[in-house]
Amino acid sequence: MRAWIALFSAIACEVTGTLALKLFGLQTPWLAAAVTGSSIVLSYLLLSLAFRRIPVAVAFAVWEAVGLVAITLLGVWLLGDSLTGPQLLALGGLLLGARLLHGGTQPRQAQAGGKA
């Protein structure tokens, strides 16, 4: 459970850092650099904690897919970006792909014949 909390915290940090580039980039580039840099570093640290319990393929796929969906939807909501039908389908495909990876991955104990 802690690994999943770390993973979703990493996603939140990634999304925060990416949005900071757009929100602060032109007016206050030093603030954009500070928020983005610290958020991305923290995101990778949290992602490394998630890798301890969640298979790398699953954690990275979820990190990327959920992060992209969140950034896209927040861009539409906060920044006035537009979203077409095919783009919405692509976002759904990303989430489906991450879910399929998760469903097809066996826990470490099952891979090692039940030994921890």
DSSP secondary structure string for all residues of 39-104:
HHHHHHHHHHHHTTTS-HHHHHHHHHHHHHHHHHHHHHHHH-----HHHHHHHHHHHHHHHHHHHT
pLDDT, tens digit, 9 for 90 and up, residues 41-88: 999 999 999 999 999 999 999 999 999 999 999 999 999 999 999 999
Q: Which residues of 27-38 are buried (b: 16+ CB within 10 A; e: fewer)?
A: eeeeebeebbee
What does the pLDDT read at residue 115? 47
Q: What does residue 8 show for φ and ψ, rounded to 5 degrees? A: -70, -25
Q: Which residue has the tokens 């992060």?
A: 67
First to last CA, the chain: 17
pLDDT, tens digit, 9 for 90 and up, residues 104-116: 776 655 455 554 4
What is the enclosing helix (H) or strand (E) of 10?
helix 2-24
Check residue 26 and report its DSSP letter.
Answer: T
What does the pLDDT read at residue 108? 54
What does the pLDDT read at residue 25? 81
Report how many helices (DSSP H) and strands (DSSP E) the chain contains, helices first. Answer: 5, 0
What does the pLDDT read at residue 116? 40
Kindly state the tokens that stand for 40: 């991305």
Per-residue pLDDT band for 11 (boundaries 50, 70, 90) equals very high
Query: pTM, whole model, 2 decimals?
Result: 0.84
What does the pLDDT read at residue 101? 85
